[in-house]
Amino acid sequence: MRILISGFEPFGGSNNNPSEGVVRSVLASQARRPLARELSLFGTILPVVGGTRPGSARHTMRRCITDAQPNAVICFGEAASRATICIERVAFNERSYRIADNGGVRIASAPVIRGAPSLLRSTASHEGMLRAMRAAVRAHGVAVRMSDDAGRFLCNEVLFDCLHRARGAYTAVFIHLPQTPAQARVRGTLGGQPLPLAWSVRAAIAAIRWIAAR
């Protein structure tokens, strides 16, 4: 099984992003000892830049998918205002940025892909993945839930693009992570509940193992 995982660079005035930390930790862990049998794991950190030009998140992701030829893509991103880890099941064909991206561009309203359906559903086996992730972090009081709203910023944009281009070649899912306590100390809780990176890493490994066993 070939799995590609992605995280994002920091954005929105923070100097780190839990999704980047998760991807780096998971790759280090896989290098020490494979997380699952016959697993080839690939990872990338995406720029928080919209559109499809070189240097954008979508352009980077498309290149990684071409290079890695994955059976599954698991994208991770930060959702600072969330109190739980969320499995995103749908992506909208809409870009409506609440803040400027790291290229300084703020899109008021535009489709991700002109002429594509207004909504695409993730094709991963969410229920089983949710159970596996919950089991991995339950003892620490960490909650994991489903979500049908990945926002209208880069996380949604990347998931939509992955789903639209998959054509059965791979499954794709997005996992949103709360910010870390260190981030919250600097910018406040933003209505969410911070989560130490270690628990996000555990949940991520459970998700990868679940998908690797399919």
Query: Is 162 known to be catalytic?
Result: no
Tell me, yes or no, if 176 is annotated catalytic: yes
- Helix (H/G/I), strand (E/B), else coil: 188: coil
| Distance separating alpha carbons of residues 48 and 58, to the nearest angstrom | 10
- Check binding of 155 to ligand PCA (CB under 6 A): yes
**Shortest CB 49 distance to ligand PCA, Å:** 10
Interatomic CA distance for residues 159 and 76, integer angstroms: 10
Smallest separation, CB 159 to ligand PCA (Å) = 9
For the CB of residue 17, give the shortest distance to ligand PCA in the complex, in Å.
5
- Nearest CB to ligand PCA, comparing residues 129 and 155: 155
Site string for ligand PCA, 134-153 (x = CB under 6 A): -----------------x-x
| Residue the block writes with tokens 């870390």 | 180
DSSP H or E segment with residue 94: none
**Residue 99 CB-density burial (10 A; 0-12 exposed, 13-18 middle, 19+ buried):** exposed
Footprint (CB under 6 A) of ligand PCA, residues 53-82: 77-79
Min separation Cβ 62 and ligand PCA, Å:
17
* C-alpha span between 31 and 26 (Å, rounded): 9
Helix, coil or strand: residue 6:
strand
Q: Does 122 bind ligand PCA (CB under 6 A)?
A: no
48 touching ligand PCA, by CB under 6 A: yes
Q: Rounded to an integer, what is the distance from CA 80 to the centroid of its chain? A: 13
Known catalytic residues?
88, 155, 176
Residues that bind ligand PCA (CB under 6 A): 8, 11, 17, 19, 48, 77-79, 151, 153-155
